[in-house]
A and B are shown apart, each in its own frame.
Chain A
Amino acid sequence: MSKMNGAQSLVNALEAAGVDVMFGIPGGAILPAYDPIFDSKIRHILVRHEQGAGHAATGYAQATGRVGVCIATSGPGATNLVTPLADAQMDSVPIVAITGQVPSAAIGTDAFQEADIRGVTMPVTKHNYLITDPDDIPRAIAEAFHIASTGRPGAVLVDIAKDALQKETTFNYPKNVSLAGYNPVVEPKSEAIRDAAALITQSKKPVLYVGGGIIKANAAKELMQLAEITGAPVVTTLMARGAFPDSHPQHLGMPGMHGTVAAVTALQKADLLITLGARFDDRVTGKLSTFAPNAKIIHADIDPAEIGKNRHADVAIIGDLKNILRALNPATKAALAKSHPDLTPWLTETYGWRSKFPLGYDKPSDGSVSPQYVIERIGKISGPDTIFTAGVGQHQMWASQFIGYEKPRTWLNSGGLGTMGYAVPAAMGAKVGAPDTTVWAIDGDGCFQMTNQELVTCALNNIPIKVAVINNESLGMVRQWQTLFYNQRYSNTDLHSKRIPDFKLLAEAMGCVGLRCERPEDVDKTIEAAMAINDRPVVVDFNVHRDAMVWPMVAAGTSNDDITVARSMAPVWDSQEL
């Protein structure tokens, strides 16, 4: 077996793990690894901030379903990865982060650029490693990829001491990974399938409550089959947008704080929630004690710890969702063949809510551009094959509401952690993973100012993403809460971003095309101009009305029953609906 140093062994291991691209920045402790990276077939994209590397790895992973990889040096390089690691872990995205660590003899001495990144990231990763022996590198890499990509996917960090990268070793990549304490259950129990099918046959008001797990499990096709077998209405959470086509007649839209009236109300009135890869997050349930009070719960998930965490499950099905649905679909079909409750009254009711309370928005009376209109038009003009990323805030909710998603992995956002600044680097990663697909980052002016430096990376590396800055010159969602709950006292939410910075000039300074749109009549032609540019990144500064708000809304901590469709305006129900 040929001798090599730990750094070469690391690069060989990454190649053996099937890595084709990684995002990173070199520095002292990781420097030995960058020498063999120079010769590797793995494409290394030199980012401008480690946070960008982490979110790019996440965007790549969400768009492709493969493990995203980022790499950084010790100390600040590693701590800059903490936010994207927490973000990926919260949204169950498979990423592996490689970090250099100070030489093993210096660990614990407060050495230059030393940070205990294994300790720091323990609560925000699925697992992590500190490697000080070069012989351990291939095994750690193999395990990291195995852990990140199997079971409930997540973030794994491998921290490697500099001397382990420099010392001589032999490369021996394990054929199989076997971990005593890690054996995710993928095959559902037949009793659970049988019990779930039985509950479905007893339900007159079922809802398919679909979460991001369907996308992780590549089970959209199987979900469609279950929807057709049951005929039940479907809601897709923020993490599941695209798991079920928005155009499908059974789709009620997104549930939750800014969900549709039909989706929120259907969950509230249901007698059965068929929960598939969703986790009863507080943004979906509102006040938990009043959530879906009459519903029995079928909870299907790969993670046993999600069962009963927030809501008791009447039937729990542990396993990979694709396997679960492959078993549940025929079982349900057979059970329904014997006894199929008439869902017509329920469907009439839920579809009635959908047509009576559609998503909508007002056109600003002063003739300025409506942010929802911009986002809606980008969706229409760019079409359902486009990958959309978003930051966090109003623009994110509007991008979720007013773009029609037809396919999985076309909507990437930071759902759990709510990481502002996610959109641009995630779009970069998605575009690298899907170079022939149009990638739009729908960003806010606040978010954009957190991570836009990765546009330099995009411009230099031929990653022609498109960025729509929905510029309302404020931290819009915070401002909305100040409007609603803090007596319009706009403390520190005014960003002045229509004045400074000049996003068009900023884009051009970073090697992108910069466009600006200030009038409703220019929206379509500006989007079309952006669509026509494919050799460089494009940034469009859409100057929009600043007082637009996200509706409907269930205020934090209140019951989903108290949904408002506009300010202080509850839906007006027909009396028989209450």
Chain B
Amino acid sequence: MAIHTLAVLVENSPGVLARVASLFSRRGYNIDSLAVGPTENPKVSRMTIVLNLEGHALDQVSAQLFKLVNVIGISEMKDSDSLKREILLVKVANTAAAKEVVKKHGAVIADEGGKTISIEAVGQSSAIESLLADLKAHGIRELVQSGLVGLERGDSTLADRTLSTMGTANESDPNSSTADYQN
């Protein structure tokens, strides 16, 4: 099992999410999570895709993804050089012990009902998992998690370095795509 995170810049056009989903489905690639949203450029959306690649090479997945006309750039988000965050919203029983867990993990009580509290947490996957593990004993009533989102560490941006780290996808001229993207 190999987990990889890809940041993918796509044109903000109708159907682009369906194209990506259709590609992953028909080629048998497993998506752990997918988060998509707007960027600093209104013409461009950004996806963060967490993949569980068993029997598929990351280069092959990236090359197939890059064939989609609406995909502008792809970069692998490695743990060492990127910030990765998830959001958790979870409803548990309103008890002192549960509140203690919230405090211990640095999470926030976003809403308090008579019988339940709704907890908000932002963090790395491991921190979210750890919080959830501690909350389990207090009766999780309902939870919702966002997909992971990722950003480069340091001064570089994906717009600058997109395509430059991928295997076969970097056969393309990295400047042409990003130049178009930036104008």
Q: Are B169 and A181 in contact (CB under 8 A)?
A: no
Q: Which stretch of A14-22, A118-126, A375-383 is in the interface?
A: A118-126
CA distance A305 to B177 in the complex (A): 18
Q: Are B171 and A304 in contact (CB under 8 A)?
A: yes
A185 interfacial by beta-carbon distance below 8 Å:
yes
Segment 279-329 of A: residues with Cβ below 8 Å from B: 303-305, 307-309, 316, 318
In the bound complex, residues from chain B placing their C-beta under 8 Å from that of A428 are: none
Given contacts A130-B15, A318-B171, contact A305 B71 (CB under 8 A): no
| Chain A interface helix/strand/loop/mixed | loop
Q: Which of A118, A147, A305 contacts B168 (CB 8 A)?
A: A305
Given contacts A305-B60, A307-B63, contact A180 B11 (CB under 8 A): yes
Q: Are A180 and B180 in contact (CB under 8 A)?
A: yes
Q: Are B60 and A309 in contact (CB under 8 A)?
A: yes
- B178, closest chain A residue (CB): A180
In the bound complex, residues from chain B placing their C-beta under 8 Å from that of A308 are: 57, 59-60, 168
Q: How many of chain B's residues have a CB under 8 angstroms from any CB in A?
A: 31
Interface string of B62-89 (1 = CB under 8 A from A): 0110111111110000000000000000
B10 interfacial by beta-carbon distance below 8 Å:
yes
A182 interfacial by beta-carbon distance below 8 Å:
yes
CA distance A316 to B23 in the complex (A): 24
A258 interfacial by beta-carbon distance below 8 Å:
no
| Chain B interface helix/strand/loop/mixed | helix
B113 interfacial by beta-carbon distance below 8 Å:
no
Segment 81-132 of A: residues with Cβ below 8 Å from B: 118-119, 122-123, 126-127, 130
- A304, closest chain B residue (CB): B168
Q: Are B64 and A181 in contact (CB under 8 A)?
A: no
Q: Which of A122, A126, A305 contacts B15 (CB 8 A)?
A: A122
Q: Which of B11, B69, B73, B171 contacts A126 (CB 8 A)?
A: B69
Q: Are A307 and B168 in contact (CB under 8 A)?
A: yes
Q: Are A180 and B72 in contact (CB under 8 A)?
A: yes
B19 interfacial by beta-carbon distance below 8 Å:
yes
- B176, closest chain A residue (CB): A183
B95 interfacial by beta-carbon distance below 8 Å:
no
Q: How large is the interface on A (under 10, 10 to 19, 20 to 34, 35 or more residues)?
A: 20 to 34
In the bound complex, residues from chain B placing their C-beta under 8 Å from that of A492 are: none
Given contacts A126-B69, A181-B70, A309-B60, contact A318 B15 (CB under 8 A): no
Determine which residue in A179, A305, A318 has the highest number of CB atoms from chain B within 10 A of its CB, and name it.
A305
- Give chain B nearest CB distance to A518 CB in angstroms: 47
Q: Which of A130, A179, A305, A316 contacts B69 (CB 8 A)?
A: A179
B165 interfacial by beta-carbon distance below 8 Å:
no
Given contacts A305-B67, A308-B59, contact A185 B11 (CB under 8 A): no
Q: Are A122 and B22 in contact (CB under 8 A)?
A: yes
A178 interfacial by beta-carbon distance below 8 Å:
yes
In the bound complex, residues from chain B placing their C-beta under 8 Å from that of A180 are: 11, 72, 177, 180-181
CA distance A183 to B172 in the complex (A): 7
CA distance A307 to B173 in the complex (A): 17
In the bound complex, residues from chain B placing their C-beta under 8 Å from that of A307 are: 63, 168
CA distance A185 to B175 in the complex (A): 13
In the bound complex, residues from chain B placing their C-beta under 8 Å from that of A147 are: 69
Segment 360-397 of A: residues with Cβ below 8 Å from B: none
Chain A: residues with CB nearer than 8 A to chain B? 118-119, 122-123, 126-127, 130, 147, 178-183, 185, 189, 303-305, 307-309, 316, 318
Nearest first, the 4 A-B pairs at minimum CB distance are: A305-B63, A180-B180, A304-B168, A318-B171
